[in-house]
Amino acid sequence: MAFGLLVAAGAANAELPAAPNRTVPVLIFDSCRKPEWPRESLRNEETGTVSLSMLIGTNGKVKDAKLLASSGSSLLDEAAMAGLRTCTFKPGTEGGQAIESWQKMQYVWTIEESAPPEEYAAMKRLQQNDFDGAAALFRTAAVKGSANAQFYLGAMLFFGNGVKQDKTEAAKWMEQAVAQGHVKAKGALGAMLLEQGSDDRRAYALLQAAANGKDVTSMYWLATCLERGRGTSADLGDAKAWYKRAAEGGHPKAKQALARLEGGQG
């Protein structure tokens, strides 16, 4: 079974409104034309996650879109971009007035016969910013063994989105997803270990694996390890290289770190 999952990227990346009087755009459910799977990609069983940043106008229509992280297939990237440009949103606001603003979205191209139906339903809840409902459905799918659901549940537990914050339980679900080879879970668990300071060597190894798997956030954290010598020997040259890759992928903190290093600041 081949299918795609559309989800606002905020839940996994903990991106919240910048201020109490500012709201982010919200996708209007079922407003998008479903991206068409390129025949060549389907024949080759290509899969992956496309991360996009979309400029939403005051009328809720997509005015512009840019690729943040590739799925690894240019055909899948282009197909996702074309489909998601048709989406309609409730526009973001500031002080009660509609404004143009950027919103991050992800489209997951996957071929998985065993994906629990709760996982697909949870992704739909995330589209509607229903974090409580999404967390409950992800938990059901995670118990059934879905690595993707385990990752999302772990992320929501870590940040307290839709559930009571519990970093210990978050790490347990991430461990299960990592055991199944989930790339983003490797990066997330690596970042958790860095925060705890409990196992920098393993954190570095996990982040390295996720960064090589094209996870932009992991590229940033890997660069911090290389800059500070956590879990590996300090190497400012490699740190700059990974900060640059993360910056090119749209990571805002990576751009700042790269500017700092290139400016000779410690």
Count of beta carbons in the 10 Å neighbourhood of residue 186: 25
Q: Hey, what are 249's tokens?
A: 């992928």
Are the C-beta atoms of 243 and 257 separated by less than 8 Å? yes
Sign of the alpha-carbon torsion through 39, 44, 47, 52: negative
Identify the CA nearest to 53 among candidates 23, 81, 95, 18. Answer: 81
pLDDT per residue as tens digits for the range 87-103: 999 998 988 899 999 88
Average pLDDT (32-47) is: 79
- Orientation angle between helical segments 131-143 and 147-159, nearest 10 degrees: 140
Rounded CA-CA distance 261/265 in Å is 6
The pLDDT, as a whole number, for residue 68 is 87
Q: Tell me the H-state helices in the chain.
A: 10-13, 39-43, 74-84, 117-127, 131-143, 147-159, 167-179, 183-196, 200-212, 216-228, 236-248, 252-262
Where do we find the tokens 């939403």? Answer: 56
pLDDT at 3: 55
**194-219 core/surface letters (b: 16 or more CB in 10 A; e: else):** beeeeebeebbbbbbbbbebbbbbbb
CA distance 46 to 158: 31
pLDDT at 12 over 60: no
Q: Which of 96, 182, 159, 138 is nearest to 7 (CA)?
A: 138
- The pTM of the full predicted model, rounded to 2 decimals, is 0.66
Q: Is the model more confident about 137 or about 198? A: 137
User: Residue 173: is its pLDDT beyond 70?
Assistant: yes
Reported as type and span, the H/E element at residue 97 is strand 97-98
| pLDDT at residue 1, as a whole number | 44
Give the pLDDT score at 64.
93
One-letter amino acid of 95: G
Indicate the average pLDDT of the chain.
85
The reported pLDDT for the residue numbered 14 is 36
Q: Where residue 236 falls among pLDDT bands split at 50, 70, 90?
A: very high
Give yes or no for residue 172 having a pLDDT over 60.
Answer: yes
Dihedral pair phi/psi, residue 145, rounded to 5° = 105, 5
